[in-house]
Amino acid sequence: MLPLALAQFIASYAATNMNVAITAIAHDLSTTVAGLQTTITLFTLTMASLMIPGSKLTDIWGRKTCFVAGLIVYGTGALLAALAPGLGLMIVGYSLLEGVGSALMIPPVYILITVAFDDTSTRAKYFGVVSGAGGLGAAAGPLIGGLITSSIGWRASFILQVLVVAWIIVLARRIAESPRVGPRPHFDLVGAVLCAAGLCLVVFGILQTRSRGWFALPVWALIGLGALVLVWFFFHIRAVQRRGGEPLLRPSLFGNRTANLGLGTQLIQWLVMQGSFFVISVYLQEVRGYSAIETGLMLTPATLGILLASARAERLATRTTQRWLIIAGFAAASAGMVLLLALAPHTAGVLGFGPGLLLVGLGIGVMLTSSVNVVQSSFPDSEQGDISGLSRSVSNLGSSLGTALVGSILVAAAFPAGRPFALALGTLVGITLVGLLLAVFIPSRPSPPTGPTGRAGPTGPRRP
């Protein structure tokens, strides 16, 4: 479990630690803040658009092989970024290679856990470990990045990633994997191109809202074009399956009601987590004048909440259903944001942010583990490569949508200091309630895993 949790931690850390070092990197590389924001955007785009094709490769190369290959690509990218003399090599190392590496190494993390443990409670325990590591990486990224940048320099942050990745590769030798059963599947190259292009256009359009707003024609042109390409992708995979071929994703994945609801809650959870962290970080730095390190410390209650909830995931799963855990998580997160709205503008320091952030962290920690469990447990071992890639793509889409949504609100809201913060956080409360509504419709009793035809699949003991 240690290499799997560390891999999720380092990927989440990479997505947030750059934000506090933008000014220092821009100065050293003789570039602009806008150029580095583009670099961060390209990282998100690469990871989101390649997550499904990367997941499919786990069925072709093997889960452990794909995991290690992703680590090697990621580590190479981090090393190039650390040595970058200019923006060009930074984009190649951070945006492209780290993005490709993440798309290869993250899906196997969830597949290996799912196939290793047959019962819901044990699986929930280890999903909780990984989810907690991801939440810790995302929340601690600004704090760790700020400390390293202030004390040593921004290049040391990338060197740290190289060292951690090297350690994970050594630990990964202990991961056991069962031998392949059946022929090696083919890779649907056309489907991979269509899927990557569609997701890339949609995510890029969403990210453009931070600078252009939600009503700009180019934004909706990109999102609309991406949606059309994704529709083309769906018809393509259906045609490939009808011909007896191996599509990138089996269309039957979209016919499982429980999994669809779980994916919906998963998207909203990541939207709420990334959106709330983003808007609170901006508020603390722009309105309250906090430094990068002070902002990271102020977000610590949310990190603690995620870790506490993840640590108790196994015990919670034995006492109640995943459905009720997701409902409770959404309720806690929305209550926490309401508490932030009530206390933060009028109370200084930890008392204004701590209670609300702790509730938000507890709610997110419970939901992340439970939603992943609902989605992954809805399919047999033979479908884990496909559903893991789809699940990770949905999570990345939610993260992009969260930062883009609140970012565009903060830019567009022409109110005095503090009011855009309230509007953005209030919007997130409304979206959280939509997630709560979706969770209510998740069946109380999990349905047996469905196979490629939509019928119940084999449910024997699962070991790596």
**Quick check: 454 pLDDT over 50?**
no
- Kindly report the average pLDDT of the chain as a whole number: 80
**Range 120-145 average pLDDT:** 74
Identify which of 380, 373, 387, 385 has the alpha carbon closest to the alpha carbon of residue 451. 380
Identify which of 272, 365, 269 has the alpha carbon closest to the alpha carbon of residue 314. 365
pLDDT in tens, 331-363: 999 999 999 888 877 776 777 888 888 999 889
**Range 310-329 average pLDDT:** 79
Cα first-last separation, the chain: 12
**Range 400-425 average pLDDT:** 68
The DSSP bridge partners found for residue 272 are none
* Share above pLDDT 90 across residues of the chain, in percent, rounded to a whole number: 19
pLDDT in tens, 242-254: 888 888 888 878 8
pLDDT in tens, 58-104: 878 888 889 999 999 999 999 999 999 988 999 999 989 999 999 89
Distance CA 3, CA 230 (A): 34
Q: Alpha helices of 243-299 — where are they, by DSSP H?
A: 257-286, 292-298
In this predicted structure, what is the pLDDT of residue 140?
72
pLDDT bucket at 52, cuts 50 / 70 / 90: confident
In this predicted structure, what is the pLDDT of residue 459?
39
* Helix, strand, coil percentages, rounded to 5, for the chain: 80, 0, 20
pTM: 0.77
Using an 8 Å Cβ cutoff, are 45 and 100 in contact?
no
Identify which of 20, 112, 133, 124 has the alpha carbon closest to the alpha carbon of residue 65. 112
CATH fold of 2-174+248-440: Growth Hormone; Chain: A; (1.20.1250)
Pick left, alpha or beta for residue 14 (phi over 0 → left; psi -120 to 50 → alpha; otherwise beta).
Answer: alpha
pLDDT in tens, 200-237: 888 788 777 767 777 788 889 999 999 999 999 999 99
pLDDT bucket at 455, cuts 50 / 70 / 90: very low
pLDDT bucket at 447, cuts 50 / 70 / 90: low
Write out the two tokens for 88: 């060009």
Name every residue whose Cβ is closer than 8 Å to that of residue 55 and which is 6 or more positions away in sequence.
Answer: 103, 107, 111, 385, 386, 388, 389, 390, 392
Name every residue whose Cβ is closer than 8 Å to that of residue 85 and which is 6 or more positions away in sequence.
Answer: 29
Transcribe 105-128 into DSSP letters.
HHHHHHHHHHHH--SHHHHHHHHH
In this predicted structure, what is the pLDDT of residue 450?
52
**Quick check: 55 pLDDT over 60?**
yes
In this predicted structure, what is the pLDDT of residue 224?
93
In 34-188, where do the E strands start and end?
Answer: none
**Quick check: 405 pLDDT over 80?**
no
